[in-house]
Amino acid sequence: MKILHIDSNHDLMIEQLKAAGHTNHEDYTSCKEEIEAKIDQYEGVVIRSRFKIDKQFLDAATNLKFIARVGAGLESIDISYAESKGIALIAAPEGNRNAVGEHSLGMLLMLFNKLKLADAEVRSGQWNREKNRGVELEGKTVGLIGYGNMGNAFSKKLKGFDCEVICYDLKPNLGNENARQVSLEELQEQADVLSLHTPWTPLTDKMVNTDFIKRFKKPFWFINTARGKSVVTSDLVEALKTGKILGAGLDVLEYEKLSFENLFTAKEEMPKPLQYLITADNVVLTPHIAGWTVESKIKLAQTIVDKILQL
């Protein structure tokens, strides 16, 4: 097949696809319109998130047999329209699930032990031990919403901490030795920690809002390594101010552009909720890098290659 690579990835992808007899063309700079003008020449497209693959793009791709996204989700693709055209859709959640699990755990431990604040204070010459007394994960109940690749990876990491892990998912019978599946109501009643591991869909869009947060029986810590647009940031900030949310680890933000490469242009004013998050001692922020490790770059590329070669 003739394959167009729209985003750069690990070199093994080009090398292995070439060795398997496929022709690879790389175009990492042309705009969407320029790509659309030539996409009819290709049977396959490999992309991360540079632009949205919409109806217009798919109508131009008259010979397309597959779209491979080097990442976990497919929200940048018009899935139903692509499938109606018989185009195979490939993603690679297996490739970075371990990285996401480790990152989620790191954020949680950082919050529990006030590592952000303690580090900043010591660097400024302060030595405040009692102020930075932490809490332990042992004995806590960690609630996961979404129990696919990422949720499973996080629950596996939690297993050695002697905490209880519960999960909620729309699909039944997903619970295993690492997490007990419960209703959303039970999760909101029991959880000391909430961690999101869901794709961005109409059901999860703005899911974490004031009403959702109020349904939790106890104050809780919040981790989001999934999608930023699943959270209403202004409502999250209000819950942090009132203490209903004890702390937040956010690898994703609702202000991200579709490509995930930036937040907003220099001309745009920083949203007030984001201003609060940046200055809050009990908030840990990272730039959408939970699945972005040296190892996951290799695993993601290898997963995509393996799935293409299985077509």
Burial (CB < 10 A; 0-12, 13-18, 19+), residue 255, is middle
User: What's the rounded Cα separation, in Å, for the pair 100 and 151?
Assistant: 9
For residue 134, give the nearest of 162, 107, 115 by alpha carbon: 115
Residues classed as catalytic = 227, 256, 288
Phi-psi region of 21 (alpha: psi -120 to 50; beta: other; left: phi over 0): left
Collapsed DSSP state (helix, strand, coil) of residue 47: strand
For 223-233, give one letter per residue: b (16+ CB within 10 A) or e: bbbbbbbbbbb
H helical segments located in the chain: 11-19, 32-36, 55-60, 79-84, 93-112, 115-123, 149-158, 184-190, 210-214, 233-242, 272-279, 294-309
